[in-house]
Structure formats: structure tokens, C-alpha cells
Structure 1
């Protein structure tokens, strides 16, 4: 019965099995990177010191909230597609493609550079995910990822503005 219910759900969504599988795999990869990015933002938020501290410190709370929201929406889309969202610490450690965040950084400017590198990297991968999910036939997931990309680009712009 479970197998029949799953295939009925897929038919209702109008997605071919390949599109669903591509989207689930792609979304889980971006969920992992999104969780890693959120932790990097918090690492910076907790440990930065120097000029513009309070402005950046407070702004990072908003960035973290958006990253967390992106993570949630992507993981929920995996569930909508009848997949299993993968977001445990162990999965993230083994599957994130973002480089590890340094724990010895303290200066605001150094944290900003580190965060910008990771947001830029994540944004590039999200844009590739837009193309792969759209090409596979899942325009809804591509649209969801387009919204994530737009917000990442805006946060990157704000953070890079502090480096000018």
C-alpha cells in the first residue's frame, strides 16, 4: 500500500520520477550546505571584535534567520516530494561542500571575508541547483531555489559593503 500511495502522490504532483529524485538529491545537498553556512554565521556572530562590531553582530542575526528559513523551506520541499530530508550534524559534516569555518578568527573584517566566501560559494551552487532542477522538469523547486538565491545575493551584497 505504501508504494502505491507514494506513486499516487508523485502523479498528483505531475513530476516524473527522475525530476523528483533529482530535486530530492539536489535539495538535500543544499540543505547540508545551508546548515553549515548557518553555523558559520553563528560562529562569526559569537566571536567577532572590532570596528562596526554591533552593526555586523546584529545584522548576522538577520542573516542567520534567513539561512535557517531557507534550510527549512528546502527540507520541507524534500518531504513534499516524498523524500527524506537529511540534516543531522553527522550528515552535514560528511556532506557539506563548504570549506570548514576557521575557529581562530576574531576581527570583524576577517569574519566578513570568511562569510562572504561561503555565501558566494553557496550561492553559486544554489544557482546550479536551479538549472538542474528546472532541466529535470521540476519548475517549482527551481522557483524555490531562485528565491533562496536572491536572498543570498542580497546578504552577500550587504556583507561585502562592509569590506569596502
Structure 2
């Protein structure tokens, strides 16, 4: 019989939620912390994107409205796989809106009116920052040899860069586009 490494169940922060993993306690803590920050950012960016989607106005309403709806759905679709990844490695993940507020790096925008181009530029910058945070989390995963989480992040980085690109192009000054 082959020598099989034993996976030890974790305490899951003192509860019975520990999932067996071969990652060290330090790895679980570092990776979970980085990914939970991304989960919080994704929730906040989703709400901000939907806020702008609902409150758009102006001549490009239809195009921007549809683009932000698509982007919001894409952002929302990242939350569950990221949170579940934390649980798969024996971590615990987001439990409340308060925890999201504590962990997120995405600023709220509660203003009653935001010009459409400013909305797009804010979301562009938020997505750009999100891609950087994902790269930073990827580095942590690489450091601890967590290839599965790193692989998951690679696809999300690509999607985030695509959103950034679309928001950049949609918010460009027509006088600077060569048209």
C-alpha cells in the first residue's frame, strides 16, 4: 500500500467546522485572510455596480445599464467560489454585512446623483484595485503552494481586467479616441 500523507482536521476557529487539509495552520490563516478580503470586496463592488446600474441616466443609458448589469452578475458569480474555497482549506469566511464592511477596500458611494462617466471611472478604478488585490492573494497562494486557489484567482483576474478595459473604453473622452 502506498504511503499516504494523513490529513488532519482543523479546529475551524474553535468550532467543528475544520476541514481536513494538508496546508499548515499559517497557510490556512494567510490564504483565508486574503480570500476573505476579496469576498468582502466582491460583495461591495457588486452592490456599487448595481447601485450605478439602477441610477444611470443620460444618452448612453441603455448601453451602460446593460454593461453594468452584466458586470454585476459576473462579480456576484465570484463570491461563492471564493468563499467555498476558504472553507475547503479549513478556514471560515464572511458571516455578516458588518464583517464585509470591516474587510472591504471598496468605497461606498451614497450620493443621490453621480454623472455616468464618473460612475464608470470609479468602477474602473475599483476593478483595477480588485485585480491588484487578486494578484496579491495569488502571491500568498503561491507562497503556500495552494495551486487550486491560485488557479481560481487566475480566471477571476482575467475577468476583472476585462471589466476594467470595458469601463475604461466606455468612459474615454471621445476627443481622445481618434474618432
Query: 2:104 matched to 1:92?
Result: no
- How far 1:107 moved relative to its partner? 2.2
Is the aligned partner of 1:78 residue 2:78? no
1:108 to 1:53, Cα distance in 2 relative to 1, 3 A: same
Alignment partners' CA distance in 2, 1:140 and 1:85: 17
Return the structure number with greater helix share: 1
- Distance (whole Å) between structure 2 residues aligned to residue 105 and residue 162 of structure 1: 19
The total of aligned residue pairs comes to: 158
- Which blocks of at least 5 consecutive residues in structure 2 are unaligned? 1-7, 11-17, 173-179
Q: Does 1:30 align with 2:41?
A: no
Structure-2 change in CA distance of 1:63 and 1:55 (3 Å): same
Is 1:151 the counterpart of 2:162 in the alignment? no
Higher RCO, Cα 8 Å, sep 6+: 1
From the CA coordinates, give the structure whose radius of gyration is larger.
2
TM-score with structure 1 length normalisation?
0.88
Could you say what secondary structure the match of 1:82 adopts?
coil
Please report the RMSD computed on the Cα atoms of aligned residues, expressed in angstroms.
Answer: 1.7
SS of the counterpart of 2:93? coil
Pairs within 5 Å for 1:1-164:
5-6=9-10, 9-10=20-21, 14-164=22-172
